[in-house]
Each structure stands twice: as structure tokens, then as C-alpha cells.
Homo-oligomer: A and B are copies of this chain.
Amino acid sequence: MVQFVHPAKEDIKLEGILGALADPMRLRIMKSLMGNEGCMSCSEAAPCPNIAKSTLSHHFRILREAGLIHTAKKGVENRNIVRTEEINQLFPGLLDLILKLSEEQ
């Protein structure tokens, strides 16, 4: 049985957030997740098809362990959702700003 590691809200660190977002693929995953209301499976949110699924899994783990997303197994797939409320309480404006700025590049 797979057990996902999610940090408690108080253990979410700014450096972890920045490090997790400091990667083009992870930024794109976050954009997918934020654009889509509700949950997405890993492969749905994946930015490009020609990527090893082990790599994808790794990136989701980074996002999860930084506290950016919550993952739950539902049936055969994972449902991923951004921890929007908690992140916004901890770091007001950060997520929206970064995602907005990344659009403009």
C-alpha cells in the first residue's frame, strides 16, 4: 500500500516551495492543476508525453513533499489537488504571482 507523505501546514517552508517551483516541468504541472478546478491524475497534469513516468512520479513527489499539492489514491489513479488555501494563508499572493508571472515568459 502506497502511503503519501504530506507535510503539516506548519512544516511548509518558503524555500521548499521555491525549490519545487524552480523547475519548468513542475511549474507546468502546477499551472495545469491550478487551471483545472478540482483534481487531476498525474498523467492528466503531465506537461509532455515523452517523459519517463518514474520522472513524473518524482516531480509529483517533490511538489507533494514541498506542501504544494495533496495526493490521494482513488481507484487506479492518483488524484492531485493544490493545497491552495493553506499555501495562501502561509504565503499570501505567492502562488498566484508566480503562476501569473510564469505565463508571461
SS class of chain A's interface: helix, strand, loop or mixed?
A: helix
Interfacial chain B residues near A24, Cβ < 8 Å: 15
A19 to B22, CA, bound (A): 5
> Assembly of this chain: how many copies?
2
A71 to nearest B CB, angstroms? 21
Interface residues on A, range: 20 to 34
What CA separation (Å) do A98 and B93 show in the bound complex?
Answer: 10
**Do residues A18 and B18 form an inter-chain contact, with CB atoms below 8 A?**
yes
Task: Check: A40 CB closer than 8 A to any chain B CB.
Answer: no
List, in ascending order, chain B residues with CB within 8 A of A23's CB: 15, 19
Q: Is A13 an interface residue (CB 8 A)?
A: yes
Could you list 24 examples of A-B contacts with CB < 8 Å? Answer: A13-B105, A14-B27, A14-B98, A14-B101, A14-B102, A14-B105, A15-B22, A15-B23, A16-B22, A18-B18, A18-B19, A18-B21, A18-B22, A18-B98, A19-B19, A19-B22, A19-B23, A20-B22, A91-B101, A93-B93, A93-B97, A94-B97, A94-B101, A97-B97
